Structure 1
Amino acid sequence: MKTFGKVIGALLLILLLLVVGAGFALTQFFDPNDYKDDIRQLAHKHANIELELNGEIGWSLFPWLGLEITDAKIASADTPEVPLATLRLLGLSVKVLPLLRKEIQMSDIRVDGLALNLQRDAKGQSNWDNIGQSNDQSASTSNPTTPEPAKDEHTDVSSPTVEVANTPLQLAIDSLIVNGASVVYNDQQSGQQFNLESVQLTTGAIRENQPVAVKFSGFLANAQPALRGRIELATTLNIQPNLETFLLDDLRLAGEISGEPLQNKSANISARGNLAYNTAQQSARWDNLKLSVNQLKALGELQATQLDTTANISGALSIAPVNLQEFLTGIGVELPLMANKKALSHMELNARVQGTANSLILQDMQLQLDQTAFTGSVGMKDFASGLIYAHLSGDTFNADHYLAPSSTTAATERKAEVKQQSAQTASGSSQLPNAPSKSPWNTEKILPIASLKAINADLDFSFDQLTLNALDIAQAKFKLQAKQGVLQLKHLQGQLFNGEFQVAAQLNANAAQPTLNLTHTSKNIPIEKILTALDEEVTITGLLNTSSTLRTQGNTGMDWVKNLQGNLTFALNNGVLPGADLERQLCMGIATLNRKQLSPSTGSKDTPFNQLSGQLNIHKGVAHNPDLRVAIPSLAVKGKGDIDLNVLGLDYYAGILVQGNTQPMADPACKVNKNFINIEWPVRCRGPLELGAKACRIDQNALGKIAADLAKDKLSEKLNEKISDKLDKKLDNKVSPELKDALKGLFGR
């Protein structure tokens, strides 16, 4: 028995030696390089590939079936002049004996210097089109009626051949190593161009139904806009049976990006989690997502379904507190100069994620931005058109913190001029100042026109309290829609100091000079509180009601005022003109006609009124008022004049009428008698608008005419009295009393 075993062993040894010897002889006497032309023709015929083998083909037969290809080039047969790939080295080997059991046991697969060159021309033709298609048309055209071979009814389905054919193929690879690979993509049709260079890919052992460790690294470069990046990836790949599910467990992605979009600053990016992709369901899921971009840290989970059609995305996202200003500045976002240097210093967010391939919305959002808590939805509703969507509600928001600091140069110069003019008019008897010469409006560009043209937005905000231009607006609502350079403010409304207002506007940024149309109404707004909030001197009080339709053009404060056109009606009820001593102004006129000296203390400090109303017709920044009416107890004021909004100067003519009350005033020089009733006492107002009624004086020139008219009336009265007395003496006891009274009436007695 031992001898038989030795014989069998010897025979096996001899057989092995014969196989090895045959393999050695085959590798020695058979050179695959002699068949390069045949290989090229087969590649061209069956795969539509133009194959160029410049290097030597090395091979081995036993115990490893090894193959090594160097210096190869591949192109589509349709575009042979545009190489699809070049290869410096491809080396692989397979154990021979396991092949007999339909097992592929491979050692390391090594790929060095692989360069993929993906090109698409202006017509959309790619250099990889039609690769893999057979060029052999003979089978389908030369003998189309050739019948298929008849099946052998006596075929033994249990034969070893069939069993081998039905045995599943088993694959085992020690590792895959790709060194120094690169990918170039150039799309002349879209203008996109990017490079992936210095690609390194290594894997652990690849076994069926076993996880595979994968590492990848490379450098990314994009041409337009210029962008550079480094990317590193490490994960464990699990492939489920039937290749339906791919799992990337403990995925760790890290990299750094810099370039023009980031203003040549850099963003360090890292992401971790577990990623699953199901090919049958066309769905993907990313659990335990941890994302960081510089100092921004986020957690969440994402799911995607219908990836082959509409791609629905859902999930949740949470961003930890971050200094948003520092983060945005760090990734190259140029923030405008804001009034509050601490604006955007704090942000945190929790939201649900909902989206498609063309949209991404954060819903049920809870956003804390500085001191304001927001709820609502925000995102992009249409990537193709860039439609920004934001429907938010906030508690208390100070918009002034985020607006550009106001330019105070012109305002400061003008305030100094007005202050000097105010001091000159303090006595109430000095000459009126001229209109200011300094403009309060700046000449700096206000609106970023290029950016506004690019905005496509649907914005709807509401606040419990909104601070805008130092005004605290309760229950504020703001709705804006923008598309193709036209911005429509549907409404800005709210409650202001227990009054209410509403504004609507439209801005056309496409015009050579941007045009602005505006309508507004207000009701019962205390004007003195508006002036106080704007840090202006309170020169008038009362509840303001307005209605206006205005239009202008330009992009500076000065342009807007200079080109202002439209109409405005106003009514100010239950008000006061502080320091506007209209009673004294009236007394000065009466004292002048009475030829008496008015005491210095005559008159009150303020002038109350029941209503001040009128309308303004505005042309090129000058508002003409034809019908000013002021109702003051015992007095009535009517007037007309202009307000030059370009310099905020007024020039008015007004008339004061004494109504009903003819009781002597405190100063005897200001005694009102029946002769002064219904006389229109002339008042001239001129100077800075801020002075209000302080810039008003009795018009001495017009007063002289009134004095002449009164003197003429008085002379006529005395003359009539003398004639009447003489007539009375002559008619005494000569005519009846009735006739005598009639004759006297002819002379005004």
Structure 2
Amino acid sequence: MKLFLKLFAGLVVLLIVAVVLLITTIDPNDYKQQIQTQVKKSINRDLAINGDISWAFYPQLGFSSGEIELRNLDGFNRQNLLKIDQASLGIDLVPLLKGQIKIGELTVNGLVVNLITNKNGRSNLDNMQASGAPDPKEKAPEKDISSETEKGFFALENLQLAGININDAQIEIQDLKAATTHKANIKKIQLGKFSPGQETDLSVQADLILDNLQAQLDLQSKLLVASDFSAVELKQFSLTTLLTGETLPNGKVDGSINTDIKYDLNNAKAELTDLIIKLDKIQLSGQLSVQTKQLTTVRFALKGNQWDFAPYLPEPAAASTEAASTEKTSIETTNAKKSEQEPDLSILNSLDINGTLSIEGVKASGLTIGKINSKIIVNKGKAQLTPLTAELYQGLLTMEASIEERKGLNSYQISSNLNNVQIRPLLIDAAEIDFISGTTDFNFAGKGQGLTASKIKKGLTGKGDFKLLDGELYGINLSQEVRILKAKLTAAPQPTEANIKKTDFASLTGNFTIDNGIVDNQKLLMLSPVMRLDGSGLADILKETLDYRLSVTPLSKSTEKTELGDLSGLVIPLLIKGPFSDPKFTLDTEGAIKERLTLEKKRLEEKLKKESQQRIEEQKNKLEDKVKDKLGDKLKNLFG
């Protein structure tokens, strides 16, 4: 044992003497040119070591450097790909004898990285390989790690790092072809004492500049790497952000992410538990897992609070004149058609998603939606909502929908039902349409191909039906118009003008089909205690216009005397034409009067004709009677 100790002590002394001789007799600056030449051969870039390289002996063997620059090739607007003002790193010698790797603190100050893509699409990272090296695009043979020794004298689980300290780093990403520039100013990256199987503190503070937006980031977490390096955990992960910019509501948006993250390297699976995401007052919480293998598998169960998107949506600009509004709409339509592009859904073939999303409510563009529950499934190139339910204006929306990628041809299906929904506030908030009210029951099933706005409008085909109860039709008072018509027919005084132009109804029912952008409402029937309205019409989705031809028939019970009682059988044509937002109602009372007068004239003519025929018959009969009487008297006198 004593002999072993003497030998060990001797080895330590020899190692120390060797290190002392190394750092006192060898100047690393003498090898700058060799280092720079080797870098040029290895990565085809010039390395400039401007500062001194110096050894450190106590308390660790290490080195420190001055300014180092890695140059770009010619043709880029930045001289350097990478620049470091100062860097240092050390390693303990004695633990090496025990198979332990104890590295001192890695310090990097003044790191600058420039990543550039030229206007011709060339990157400053291209061609970074030694001459004669294989093309990096060619797939390298897979390394068989099963035959490698997982543990050796210098086992990874014996690795220790005193820490990492990176200060004042700058990363700039330029894409001159896309005319975009993004910058990251990293104030600090700090990692505490690191050793596999033990937690350590991780801290990152940085500022990002993205076009016209600036973002302040602050990341804090506990890093834990498994002893066998099979898993990485970020416990108590907290990322807070502050976005600022003129385009943001109130000039800023606060955000944060809090969760525990675990990544299993063997199964390529990340799990986020106790997840809470906040964007100002918008919040989403729950569980999420992502596994990347042959398919990217995602599982989640998420819940959200009340989401109000109003502060984040631009306010609609009011046009000064109708002409300006029309011109603006025409320009927007032209631009929309130019910018429309069928989305690439091929990514659906590589996804396996199954999860639930529940939101307490949503407000957006004036539309108010209550609690939403949905189940989302993506599998084999098909994405489905099965189903989605939403509380909507005192009623319920139930919908099942799917989109599918079929070798570049996107198709979709939808089945929806509105039950007990108040239609007037829904139409006002959703589309600024205000001409009808009532409690609706609406059913629709359709399908189509193409997912751009114009393709959906033109390519959607399907059929449905609807029923509105206890509602009102705005823009015309049919009862008042019929009273005016009666007054004209009877020469009675005109009724007092109604203050509100609306028509009450007990029910409004119909069925329809959709094809080629046209809604064909084949049957429309409206009933009220005093009249009946029926007919058919078309709604052009592309032009957003209505064209309906209906008939109004006043009703009255034969056993009751009403103000409309003497109009029984009268049919009044009603036309509804114009844009969805402002349809025009035309009631052809004059035509109804003419038709009524024509019928009355015909009735009178028939009556007069009948009376005339009756009088002729009567006169004929009287004449025949007189002739008979006179003839009888003469015969009497002749034979008397």
TM-score of the aligned structures, taking structure 2 as reference length: 0.66
Change in Cα spacing, 1:101 to 1:685, as seen in structure 2 (3 Å) is closer
The alignment status of 1:256 with 2:170, answered yes or no, reads yes
Task: Name the SS of the counterpart of 2:444 in structure 1.
Answer: strand
Q: Which moved more, 1:621-630 or 1:459-468?
A: 459-468
Of residues 590, 595, 599, the one that matches 1:709 is 599
In structure 1, the partner of 2:133 is: none
1:276, CA displacement in angstroms?
Answer: 0.5
CA displacement 1:330-354 (0-9 Å, x = unmatched): xxxxxxx98x625970112321112
Task: Give me the whole-angstrom Cα distance separating, in 2, the residues matched to 1:175 and 1:100.
Answer: 14
Write the mapping of 1:296-307 to structure 2, written as runs, cut at 5 A: 296-305=217-226, 307=228
Task: Give me the whole-angstrom Cα distance separating, in 1, the residues matched to 2:198 and 2:320.
Answer: 59
1:248, CA displacement in angstroms?
Answer: 1.8
Task: Name the SS of the counterpart of 1:361 in structure 2.
Answer: strand
Task: Give me the whole-angstrom Cα distance separating, in 2, the residues matched to 1:624 and 1:498.
Answer: 28
In structure 2, the partner of 1:275 is: 194
In structure 2, the partner of 1:76 is: none
In structure 2, the partner of 1:474 is: 370
Task: Give me the whole-angstrom Cα distance separating, in 1, the residues matched to 2:225 and 2:303.
Answer: 29
Change in Cα spacing, 1:403 to 1:214, as seen in structure 2 (3 Å) is same
In structure 2, the partner of 1:175 is: 61
The alignment status of 1:528 with 2:424, answered yes or no, reads yes
Change in Cα spacing, 1:453 to 1:105, as seen in structure 2 (3 Å) is same
The alignment status of 1:596 with 2:491, answered yes or no, reads yes
1:700, CA displacement in angstroms?
Answer: 4.6
In structure 2, the partner of 1:38 is: none
Write the mapping of 1:113-124 to structure 2, written as runs, cut at 5 A: 113-114=34-35, 115=38
Task: Give me the whole-angstrom Cα distance separating, in 1, the residues matched to 2:403 and 2:321.
Answer: 26
Kept after mapping to 1: 8 A contact 2:107/2:166:
no
1:252, CA displacement in angstroms?
Answer: 2.4
Kept after mapping to 2: 8 A contact 1:98/1:104:
no
Task: Give me the whole-angstrom Cα distance separating, in 1, the residues matched to 2:590 and 2:279.
Answer: 61
In structure 1, the partner of 2:54 is: none
The alignment status of 1:312 with 2:231, answered yes or no, reads yes
Task: Give me the whole-angstrom Cα distance separating, in 2, the residues matched to 1:402 and 1:648.
Answer: 27
* Aligned AA (2:226): T
Kept after mapping to 2: 8 A contact 1:643/1:651:
yes
1:545, CA displacement in angstroms?
Answer: 1.4
Task: Give me the whole-angstrom Cα distance separating, in 1, the residues matched to 2:331 and 2:460.
Answer: 15
Task: Name the SS of the counterpart of 1:314 in structure 2.
Answer: strand
1:180, CA displacement in angstroms?
Answer: 9.5
1:267, CA displacement in angstroms?
Answer: 4.0
Task: Give me the whole-angstrom Cα distance separating, in 2, the residues matched to 1:260 and 1:389.
Answer: 36
* Aligned AA (2:170): E
Of residues 605, 612, 615, the one that matches 2:508 is 612
The alignment status of 1:571 with 2:467, answered yes or no, reads yes
* Aligned AA (1:301): K
In structure 2, the partner of 1:539 is: 435
In structure 1, the partner of 2:258 is: 350
Task: Give me the whole-angstrom Cα distance separating, in 1, the residues matched to 2:313 and 2:345.
Answer: 16
1:552, CA displacement in angstroms?
Answer: 4.8
CA displacement 1:254-306 (0-9 Å, x = unmatched): 443332589442241512222112xxxxxx44412223233311222132337
Task: Give me the whole-angstrom Cα distance separating, in 1, the residues matched to 2:279 and 2:476.
Answer: 46
The alignment status of 1:695 with 2:579, answered yes or no, reads no
Number of corresponding residues: 521
Task: Give me the whole-angstrom Cα distance separating, in 2, the residues matched to 1:577 and 1:727.
Answer: 56
In structure 1, the partner of 2:303 is: 393
1:195, CA displacement in angstroms?
Answer: 9.1
The alignment status of 1:341 with 2:249, answered yes or no, reads yes
Kept after mapping to 2: 8 A contact 1:118/1:183:
no
Kept after mapping to 1: 8 A contact 2:105/2:165:
no
Kept after mapping to 2: 8 A contact 1:542/1:573:
yes
In structure 2, the partner of 1:266 is: 184
1:650, CA displacement in angstroms?
Answer: 1.9
Task: Give me the whole-angstrom Cα distance separating, in 2, the residues matched to 1:179 and 1:367.
Answer: 42
* Aligned AA (2:223): L
Task: Give me the whole-angstrom Cα distance separating, in 2, the residues matched to 1:100 and 1:536.
Answer: 86
Q: Which ranges in structure 1 are unaligned for 5 or more consecutive residues?
A: 1-96, 121-170, 185-193, 229-239, 278-283, 330-336, 418-436, 733-749
Task: Give me the whole-angstrom Cα distance separating, in 1, the residues matched to 2:460 and 2:262.
Answer: 45
Change in Cα spacing, 1:658 to 1:595, as seen in structure 2 (3 Å) is closer
* Aligned AA (2:258): N
CA displacement 1:674-733 (0-9 Å, x = unmatched): xx42443322332333345x513126556644543343234324544565688799999x
The alignment status of 1:561 with 2:442, answered yes or no, reads no
In structure 2, the partner of 1:289 is: 202
* Aligned AA (2:183): K
1:319, CA displacement in angstroms?
Answer: 2.5
Task: Give me the whole-angstrom Cα distance separating, in 1, the residues matched to 2:411 and 2:160.
Answer: 57
Change in Cα spacing, 1:250 to 1:585, as seen in structure 2 (3 Å) is same
Kept after mapping to 1: 8 A contact 2:570/2:592:
no
In structure 1, the partner of 2:391 is: 495
What is the percentage of aligned positions where both structures have the same residue? 16
1:633, CA displacement in angstroms?
Answer: 0.6
Q: Which ranges in structure 2 are unaligned for 5 or more consecutive residues?
A: 1-8, 44-56, 71-79, 126-152, 208-215, 623-640
Change in Cα spacing, 1:591 to 1:619, as seen in structure 2 (3 Å) is farther
Kept after mapping to 2: 8 A contact 1:505/1:517:
yes
In structure 2, the partner of 1:686 is: 577
Task: Name the SS of the counterpart of 2:249 in structure 1.
Answer: coil
Change in Cα spacing, 1:514 to 1:400, as seen in structure 2 (3 Å) is farther
Instruction: Please give the root-mean-square deviation of Cα atoms over the aligned residues, in Å.
Output: 4.9
CA displacement 1:127-162 (0-9 Å, x = unmatched): xxxxxxxxxxxxxxxxxxxxxxxxxxxxxxxxxxxx
In structure 2, the partner of 1:89 is: none
CA displacement 1:36-74 (0-9 Å, x = unmatched): xxxxxxxxxxxxxxxxxxxxxxxxxxxxxxxxxxxxxxx
In structure 2, the partner of 1:636 is: 532
In structure 2, the partner of 1:444 is: 336
TM-score of the aligned structures, taking structure 1 as reference length: 0.58
Task: Give me the whole-angstrom Cα distance separating, in 2, the residues matched to 1:227 and 1:317.
Answer: 38
